[in-house]
Amino acid sequence: MNRITAIALGAIATLALGACELAPKVTSQNGYRGTGGDTVQLKKVAMAKDEVPAPPYDAPSTEGPRAKETYQNVQVLGDESAEQLSYTMAAITQWVSPEQGCNYCHNPANMASDELYTKVVARRMLQMTRNINHNWQSHVAQTGVTCWTCHRGQPVPTNHWTMPTDAPKGIIGNRHGQDNPVAASAYSSLPEASLALYLTGDPKKDQNIRVQSTDMHPSSVNKTSIMSTENSYAVMAHTSQALGVNCTFCHNTQSFQSWSISTPQRAKAWYGIRMVRDTNGQYISSLAGVFPANRKGPLGDPFKVSCATCHQGKNKPMGGYKMAKDYHALWGDPGMAPVPAAMPTAGPAPMPAATTQPVAVAAPAKTAKAG
C-alpha cells in the first residue's frame, strides 16, 4: 500500500468515525458518566436566512385605515392596516403558492368571494398562525411561526399525517397496528397510531406520555401497560427524528421521568405537544367539510400537523431564524372567526364539533414565562 492510498483510507476512516458530520460538535453530560447519556449537538447551528424568502418589500406602516374598512369580507386580519394586509398577502403568495399566484385562493373577478375552498382554508390557517404566535409563546417564544415554517413554498406541507385505518380482521395480513415502517413511528416497528393518540384532542385533557409506572404492582394507580408504553416510545421516536436530536436533548438518563433533572427543552416540548394537539383539534379538524377528498386521509380527515411539519429535522425550525418578526399581522389576537361552513359536495358532510376559543394550558412545572 503506497503512502497516498494510506492517507486516503485514513481520511475515510476519520469521516466514518465522525458519523460523516464535518461540523464541530459539543457534548454535554446528562446523568452519571458511562451511562451513554451525553447529548451531542452541533457547536453552531446555521441560521436558515439564505433559505427563507425575503419580505416582498419594506414593511409598511401599521397606521392608517383598517383592512376591514378598506376591503370586503376580511374576517381575520381586519384589525390590521390595509397596507399591512396587502403586504402579508404578497408574502403568503411566496410562501404557499409561488407558482399559482393570488388566483390559488382568489377569484380575480371578485377577490372577496369565498367560492374557492383554498381561501376558506387560508383564512383558518391565518387564525391558526395567530393563535400559535399569540397564545403559545411558551413554545415558540418570540421567534413565532409563519406559513413558510410548514409550507416551504408549496401548497401542501411535506410532513403531514392522517388517522390510521383499522387493522384487517383475521390473521393473514393483520399486523395489529404496528410492524409497518411509516413516518408516524419514525419507520420503526412500533404502533402507527401514536400520533393519533397524542397529537389530537383537547390540549387540556390529561394525555401525558408515560413509560415508567408509578407503582411496582398492577393497581388502580399503576395504569401504564406495555401497549401504552409502545405508543409512548413511538411518539418519542417521532419527536426525536423530527427535531434531529437524541433522547437526552430533553431527558436525563438518571431518570427519564424526573422533571427536576430534565433539560429546559423538555418543558418546551411539553408545551409543543399540546400546541400541536390544539392546532389539529381546533383548526384543522374543523376543515373536514371544506377540504376535497384528495386532501384527506382514507378515513376522511384532513391532513394534520406533527412536530416534523415545522421542525423538519432541526431542533429549532430553520435554525431558529426569526422570520415572523417582519410580519406584524401574524401576531394579533386570533379572535373568534366563525368555523367555516362545509363546501358544496355531492352529499352533506357533517362538521365535527370545534371551538374557536384559545385554550389556556397549565405549566408542567414552575417556570419563567417565555419572552
User: 215-235: per-residue pLDDT in tens?
Assistant: 655 555 656 666 678 888 899
State yes or no: pLDDT of 76 exceeds 80.
yes
Give the span between the Cα atoms of 149 and 310, in whole angstroms.
6
Lowest-pLDDT range, 55-69, 78-92, 303-317, 334-348? Answer: 334-348
Q: Indicate whether 258 belongs to any domain.
A: yes
Give the span between the Cα atoms of 91 and 126, in whole angstroms.
12
The pLDDT score that the predictor gives to residue 16 is 45
* C-beta neighbour count of 17 within 10 angstroms: 8
Lowest-pLDDT range, 45-59, 150-164, 254-268? Answer: 45-59
The pLDDT score that the predictor gives to residue 24 is 59
State yes or no: pLDDT of 147 exceeds 70.
yes
What is the chain's mean pLDDT, rounded?
80
What pLDDT band is residue 88 in, cutting at 50, 70 and 90?
A: very high
Lowest-pLDDT range, 24-38, 54-68, 153-167? Answer: 24-38
User: Once rounded to an integer, what is the mean pLDDT over residues 98-114?
Assistant: 95
The pLDDT score that the predictor gives to residue 161 is 93
CA 135 to chain centre: 15
The pLDDT score that the predictor gives to residue 107 is 95
Tally helices (H) and strands (E) across the chain: 10, 2
The pLDDT score that the predictor gives to residue 348 is 29
What are the Cα distances from residue 132, in Å, to 61, 127, 155, 187, 224? 23, 9, 20, 29, 31
Q: Considering only CA atoms, which of 129, 75, 96 is closest in space to residue 279?
A: 129
What 3-state DSSP class applies to 317?
helix
More confident residue, 127 or 20: 127
The pLDDT score that the predictor gives to residue 209 is 82
Cell of 176: 395489529
Listed in sequence order, the DSSP H helices in the chain are: 3-17, 67-70, 82-96, 117-135, 137-140, 147-151, 194-198, 226-243, 264-278, 307-311
| C-alpha neighbours within 13 Å on the C-beta side of residue 115 | 9
Q: Indicate whether 368 belongs to any domain.
A: no
State yes or no: pLDDT of 333 exceeds 50.
yes
Q: Indicate whether 371 belongs to any domain.
A: no
Give the span between the Cα atoms of 81 and 65, in whole angstroms.
6
User: Once rounded to an integer, what is the mean pLDDT over residues 106-121?
Assistant: 95
User: Residue 279 gets which letter from DSSP?
Assistant: I
Q: What is the total count of domains within the chain?
A: 1
Domain membership of residue 116 as a residue range = 20-166+176-331
What pLDDT band is residue 336 in, cutting at 50, 70 and 90?
A: low
Query: What single letter denotes the amino acid at residue 243?
Result: L
Q: Indicate whether 93 belongs to any domain.
A: yes
User: Once rounded to an integer, what is the mean pLDDT over residues 118-125?
Assistant: 96
Give the span between the Cα atoms of 280 and 286, in whole angstroms.
9
The pLDDT score that the predictor gives to residue 337 is 53
pLDDT tens column, 165-194 = 776 676 766 666 676 777 777 778 788 888
State yes or no: pLDDT of 367 exceeds 50.
no
Q: Indicate whether 348 belongs to any domain.
A: no
The pLDDT score that the predictor gives to residue 350 is 32
What pLDDT band is residue 2 in, cutting at 50, 70 and 90?
A: low
Report the DSSP beta bridge partners of residue 39. Answer: 28
What pLDDT band is residue 90 in, cutting at 50, 70 and 90?
A: very high
pLDDT tens column, 278-293 = 999 999 999 999 999 9
User: Once rounded to an integer, what is the mean pLDDT over residues 268-276?
Assistant: 94
- CATH number for position 47: 1.10.468.10
Cell of 99: 407558482
Give the span between the Cα atoms of 70 and 64, in whole angstroms.
10
Q: Indicate whether 349 belongs to any domain.
A: no
Type and span of the H or E element at 27: strand 25-28
Q: Indicate whether 370 belongs to any domain.
A: no
More confident residue, 174 or 204: 204
Contacts of 361 (CB under 8 A, 6+ apart): 138, 203, 204, 271, 274, 278
Type and span of the H or E element at 42: strand 39-42
The pLDDT score that the predictor gives to residue 26 is 67
Q: Indicate whether 308 belongs to any domain.
A: yes
